Amino acid sequence: MTDQVIVKDEGAVRTIRMNRPEKKNALTSVMYDAMAEAIETAGGGSSVGSILIMGVPGAFSAGNDLQDFMKAAMGGEGLGNAVLRFLYSLARCERPLVAAVQGVAVGIGTTMMLHCDYAVAASDARFSTPFVALGLVPEAGSSLIAPRVMGHRRAFELLVMGKPLSGEEAKACGLINQVAPADQVKFGQQLDL
């Protein structure tokens, strides 16, 4: 495991906290593997009843670590096994997934919401998907799921045009369920799991 992802079980709730504040939780292969492991081991006969995914104050996730991403691309790995493992773990998760978003949620930090059963965003949350600007296609099945959740036009704005959404805008289009004060979201308060 890594100290950049903190996994903690309290009662029936498993909290997965991305913990790389100096890089706004830009995700590395090691972090993807740690989060996938935490989700995978919450299934089956485990006592985990739900999974809460969080970041640090000011940053849910800045998306892929660009250095890690470039290294994988140059090495011919494409997305890489760790990223695919994480994406599959989200799609196959056997427990309710809840996200508590504060600050930036870029790329996978936004598209992850499409796989969560419930998502709360802080009043300071900002969702964005700069895929096209980076010459990438949206990941995590988002080009299929987002139009179903948000409607075609809103999904196009987000995924193709890269238009960022505030927490209130994300709630209005169905990307998240609730907006709460930032100080309540950063510690997972106001989430009845």
| pLDDT, tens digit (0-9, with 9 covering 90-100), for 93-106 | 999 999 999 999 99
The mean pLDDT of 26-30, rounded to a whole number, is 94
Between β-strands 126-128 and 104-106, what pairing exists: parallel, antiparallel or unpaired?
A: parallel
**Encoded tokens for 178:** 């609730």
Say if residue 179's pLDDT is above 80. yes
**Encoded tokens for 152:** 């075609």
The mean pLDDT of 163-167, rounded to a whole number, is 96
Amino acid at 68: D
pLDDT recorded at residue 109: 96
pLDDT recorded at residue 78: 57
Predicted TM-score (pTM) of this structure: 0.90
The mean pLDDT of 27-56, rounded to a whole number, is 95
pLDDT recorded at residue 190: 45
pLDDT recorded at residue 1: 59
Mean pLDDT of all residues belonging to the chain: 90
pLDDT recorded at residue 187: 56
Quick check: 39 and 31 in contact, CB under 8 A? Answer: no
Residues 6+ apart with CB under 8 A from 82: 29, 30, 32, 33, 36
* Contacts of the segment 71-77: beta carbons below 8 A, 24+ positions apart: 72/29
Over residues 61-75, the pLDDT tens digits come to 999 997 876 676 666
Over residues 112-164, the pLDDT tens digits come to 999 999 999 999 999 999 988 888 888 888 899 999 999 999 999 999 999 99
Domains and CATH numbers, the chain: 5-180 (3.90.226.10)
